[in-house]
Amino acid sequence: MSAVKLDGKATAAKIKADLTTRVAALKERGITPGLGTVLVGDDPGSQIYVAGKHRDCAEVGIASIRVDLPETATQAEVEAVIDELNASPECTGYIVQLPLPKQLDTMALLERMDPAKDADGLHPINLGRLVHMVDAPLPCTPNGIVLLLQEYGVPIKGAEVAVVGRGITVGRSLGLLLTRRSENATVTLCHTGTQDLAGHVRRADIVVAAAGVPELIKRDMVKPGAAVLDVGVSRVNGKIAGDVALDVEEVAGFLTPNPGGVGPMTRALLLSNVVEAAERLQQSASVS
């Protein structure tokens, strides 16, 4: 058997085509969406992702504001940038690229952001809204994963899902998304303290691997026909190594390529959050 490819690149291209039209409509009404990025330090992966985000902005017509700070930046220096972006009318949404260098307090920085400009959906108020299942910008990777499954008709309602990795950008927030009434999946959130990882994965109809451990998910751990989404990114000899072994392709029903799967969806859903924030701005301007 050979798995159906969950093509994130192609699906992201469709999302970006729709966003291009919506950005043009916003501009006609006098609003130019603008994405700000705050990158601290010189982590090569983060550099690549932030550069990609600005390329995407240019592609759909979103203005972009890039702030790069050195690895040694202090909490006060990053806070000053956040205050500027909160106040800037050109910036309708922004992100702080994660992870941050160790000297910085990530939670304090996320809390300092204006939740209305939180393009990542990672501000505690927005994550709290997700817990309460009310409207909020959604974290980009989890939202991208749900849309990719829907695009390929992978049943989510009633599915057993094993999410491997409990980080805030993927695993923990994905659990919240998939257990909303609209998705109604049953989620097992696995992590480094999980006793029987293989057992949990083997029961799953959908497996999301976001642990950052190359080839953690082996062929014999996957239920035949399951959908497997590989979020893990490790760089081995300069090449991307995912969390899923290559021969899982022989047993899975659906599989994301990596690269070309979840990554492009993350970036497209970031643009979508920026456009939605600008649309909310435009609606409130036309009401008042």
Q: Is the dihedral of CA 124, 130, 131, 134 positive or negative?
A: positive
Whether residue 31 contacts residue 278, with contact meaning beta carbons closer than 8 Å, is answered with yes
For ligand LMY7XDAE, the closer of residues 52 and 101 by Cβ is 52
Helix H or strand E segment including 38 = strand 34-40
Q: Smallest distance, Å, CB 288 to ligand LMY7XDAE?
A: 31
Contact set with ligand LMY7XDAE (CB under 6 A): 48-49, 52, 95-98, 120, 140-141, 169, 240, 258-260, 263-264, 266-267
Among 170, 220, 177, 222, which Cα is nearest to 191's?
A: 170
Q: Smallest distance, Å, CB 216 to ligand LMY7XDAE?
A: 17
Whether residue 26 contacts residue 278, with contact meaning beta carbons closer than 8 Å, is answered with yes
Choose the catalytic residue: 16, 53, 117, 223. Answer: 53
- Spatial strand order of the sheet with 186-190 comes to 4-5, 254-255, 227-230, 206-209, 160-164, 186-190
Q: Smallest distance, Å, CB 241 to ligand LMY7XDAE?
A: 11
For ligand LMY7XDAE, the closer of residues 36 and 264 by Cβ is 264
For ligand LMY7XDAE, the closer of residues 123 and 223 by Cβ is 123
Residue with the CB atom nearest ligand LMY7XDAE in the bound state = 263
Backbone angles phi, psi at 227, to 5 degrees: -90, 130
d(CA 146, CA 8): 11
For ligand LMY7XDAE, the closer of residues 114 and 160 by Cβ is 114
Q: Smallest distance, Å, CB 105 to ligand LMY7XDAE?
A: 15
Is 243 considered catalytic here? no
Is 27 considered catalytic here? no
For the annotated binding site, the residues are 165-167, 233
End-to-end CA distance of the chain: 58
For ligand LMY7XDAE, the closer of residues 200 and 267 by Cβ is 267
d(CA 197, CA 86): 42
Is 97 considered catalytic here? yes
How far apart, in Å, are the Cα atoms of 198 and each of 36, 158, 247?
41, 21, 16
For the annotated binding site for NADP(+), the residues are 165-167, 233
Choose the catalytic residue: 7, 56, 118, 120. Answer: 120
Q: Smallest distance, Å, CB 262 to ligand LMY7XDAE?
A: 6
Instruction: Report, as residue numbers or ranges, the catalytic residues.
Output: 53, 97, 120
